[in-house]
Amino acid sequence: MNDYLILALGLAAAGFGGEMFVRGAVGLAAWARIPAGIIGATVAAFATSSPELAVSVNASLEGKPHIALGDALGSNVANIGLVLGVALLFAALKAPRDSVKRDFPVAILAPLLTGLLVLDGELSRIDGAIMLFAFVVWIVAVVIEVRKQRSMAEEVLGDQNRLSIVVSVVVGLGLLIFAGRAIVWGAKGIATSFGLEEFVIGATVVAIGTSFPELATVIISKLRGHEEIGLGTILGSNIFNNFWIVSVATLIRPMENLPLRELAIGLGFGVITIALTFPGRGGIIGRRRGVMLLILYLAYTLTILQQ
């Protein structure tokens, strides 16, 4: 099938899947009596990170772990610089207080820890185990937060029909997963035809493709008045990418002879973009930040393409 047609189908699936998932996630939050932001940071983040996971596992099994690492780190920059940047152009976002305390610090720690582990030019299985342990610690913190907030969660307006909630969540997630894989497949085929190198393909074209489900989720959740789902999805996806996906890829096949210069660029921009989105007083992330993030993403793309 034509790569451009596959790409178009993926984009359409992302739009429909994002709409259905946000509708179902709001209902699920009300039904389970937990904040919708936690649904975004866990269920949505896992679903929208599944394309990165698929790409990373397949790349590691095929002996091309540099694509896996480039995709994970590139997706982190794309999630914040491109996805959140575009969303902020529509309107400012309000960050939930619990997300600021729990997710922002971990999202910043993730690239810093990864940078520390790759200083020797490789990622061993021990390094992968360390990242996996950090991921488990974060998941435990989320579970504790869920147990704490269940009894005092605010009532969220959403679809209260349980069957409809389940259908919306499952079908929405399925479409988002399909969208991510279709976009990656189409975009990778197009990029390969232009003769780009593996790490560059992973860090730019594949990263944008695997970030598109997050973009659909963020924009639609904002339009529906549930921006906490979108922000939670972005932060959660970055944590999944750094700690879960990179650790799984590394445990499958350790990474040697890593391109430290390109890694420094990806990790550096990842830290800067996260720091730039940290909310000001009142938990507001203003629209000007969106312009700055898009400029940063453009600078990242131009820099990585010149390597």
Pairwise pLDDT comparison (136 vs 31), residue with the higher score = 136
Residue type, 304: I
Which H or E run includes 285? Answer: strand 284-285
160 by DSSP, 3-state: which? coil
pLDDT tens across 243-295, in order?
888 898 899 888 888 878 888 888 999 999 999 988 877 788 888 999 999 99
pLDDT tens across 106-146, in order?
889 989 999 999 988 889 999 999 999 999 998 888 877 76
Distances (CA, A) of 127 to 46, 238, 242, 265: 22, 18, 12, 20
Domain 3-151+173-305 sits in CATH at 1.20.1420.30
DSSP sequence for 37-57: HHHIIIIIHHHHTHHHHHHHH
Q: How far apart are CA 71 and CA 15, in angstroms?
A: 22
Q: What is the pTM of this model?
A: 0.75
Domains of the chain, residue spans: 3-151+173-305
Angle CA 236–238–244, to nearest 5? 85
Helix axes 207-223, 50-61, angle to 10 degrees: 170
| Number of neighbouring beta carbons within 10 Å of residue 113 | 18
Residue type, 79: N
